[in-house]
Amino acid sequence: MKKYYDYLPKEEIKRRLNKLRQRMKKKGWEAVLVVQNVDLLYFSGTMQKALLFVPVEGEEILMVKRDIERAKGESALKEVIPLNSWREVPTVLNDLYGSIPKRIGIELDVLPAREYLRLQGIFSGVEIVDSSPLIMDVRKIKSPYEIDLMKRAGEIGQLVYAEVPKVLKEGMREIELAGILEEVAMRHGHQSYLRMRAFNFEAFSWHVLSGCAGGMLSYIDAPMGGIGLSPAFPVGASLKPIRAHEPILIDFGVCYCGYQVDETRIFCLGKLPKRFKDALLATRRIEAEVVSLAAAGISCQKLFQKGWELARKLGYEKYFMGPPNHKTRFIGHGIGLEIDEYPFIAQGHDYPLEVGMTFALEPKMVFPAEGAVGVENTFMVGEKGVEKLTLAPEELIEI
């Protein structure tokens, strides 16, 4: 059958597994068992239903429940074997490695408790530790291969934002515009299904918030949530009709081959009132300030503080990153296969930016019951400062 996409190169997988093993060695861990679909993709190249066993020494093995043929085709790993049940894993490991590790790392931030308890039963006497901090530490530095996919996601974003002035009409519902943009993005290869790691959080593309919707908070730790379609989805685009002279905030996440970028632009039907215009300019100044400082070696917390300092200086303390008492804890977040990765540009995150990190920076201003404005771009940290991956024009577009 014709191939419609590329598989993850073997060298890419090897480098990733090497990095994981370096961290395992430091911790004194004998093995990691990768269980989550995104982590499986990252370390094996396939997202088929499987478990990946990575011993600190020796060959890793991918045990596949379904579909084994597809997993063999997609993964460049040498050892890809069928597995009927998790119960078989200890026997498989014993046969292959001669023993079962005393301690195994598993992603406890995503593995459901029921499965955890089941694995405890299967691996009786084995200490199960949380491997997610190690895995997220490996994943936080992107390779040129990964950056390239994020750039292609950024290109789809440009097409999405270019569509807005062509289709936006007064009275159109937010969800209607969202659907049109989703169609444009999918036509160009957008995966549509975004991914977030945290429990109970759901990532999606179509944050289209007009006027008062931009002032609505919701369960997400974001400056604004939107009205949403119902209490069953209380975020993002809604049935609200878009009106003239209100800020239309479009925060459209694009995903290409699993890799995501975040980008926000502001539109308006007719003239946008001056206070929103000024607030938007303020967010762009804050972005410019943070970007001018952002480079390998600088503390993420420091960038957060610098952004806040300027917001205060410009007189936007009340509006920046949400209403008083509801401010987000960050002004930017790492992004890649998931939209809640390291680094976080946030208070308490006093670690340095490193070359290869990618993050979305999103200075935003919220006026409760009135609207929200702001700018968001995804950046990669290069040898000299940061490079923007989301290239739609940043200027306010009045239609």
With H, G, I as helix, E, B as strand and everything else as coil, classify residue 185: helix
Q: Is 396 in the site for its own copies (CB under 8 A)?
A: no
Determine which residue in the list 191, 210, 301, 358 makes contact with its own copies, applying CB under 8 A: 191
Name the DSSP class of 62: E
Sheet holding 397-398, edge to edge: 206-210, 248-252, 264-268, 397-398
Any bridge partners for residue 377, and if so which?
361
C-beta of 25 vs 169, nearer to its own copies: 169
- Cβ atoms 303, 293 nearer than 8 A: yes
- Cβ atoms 217, 326 nearer than 8 A: yes
Which x/- pattern, by CB under 8 A, does the window 103-142 give for its own copies?
Answer: ---x-xxxxxxxxxx------------x-x----------
C-beta of 125 vs 231, nearer to its own copies: 231
Q: How far apart are the first and last CA of the chain?
A: 47
Helix (H) or strand (E) holding 195: none
The nearest distance, CB 6 to its own copies, in angstroms, is: 8
Stretch 38-57 residues interacting with its own copies (CB under 8 A): 41, 45-50
C-beta of 90 vs 189, nearer to its own copies: 189
Name the DSSP class of 162: H
Sheet holding 358-361, edge to edge: 341-346, 330-334, 358-361, 377-381, 386-388
Stretch 143-182 residues interacting with its own copies (CB under 8 A): 173, 175-176, 178-180, 182
Stretch 247-286 residues interacting with its own copies (CB under 8 A): 257-259
Q: How many CB atoms lie within 10 A of CB 305?
A: 14
C-beta of 67 vs 387, nearer to its own copies: 67
Q: Is 117 exposed, middle or buried (0-12, 13-18, 19+ CB in 10 A)?
A: exposed
The nearest distance, CB 180 to its own copies, in angstroms, is: 6
C-beta of 97 vs 116, nearer to its own copies: 116
The nearest distance, CB 19 to its own copies, in angstroms, is: 20
What's the number of CA atoms in the CB half-sphere (13 Å) around residue 49? Answer: 7
Determine which residue in the list 162, 171, 239, 329 makes contact with its own copies, applying CB under 8 A: 239
Determine which residue in the list 204, 243, 285, 327 makes contact with its own copies, applying CB under 8 A: 204
Q: Is 234 in the site for its own copies (CB under 8 A)?
A: yes
C-alpha triplet 32, 34, 37: angle, nearest 5°: 170
Which x/- pattern, by CB under 8 A, does the window 5-44 give for its own copies?
Answer: xxxx--------------------------xxx---x---
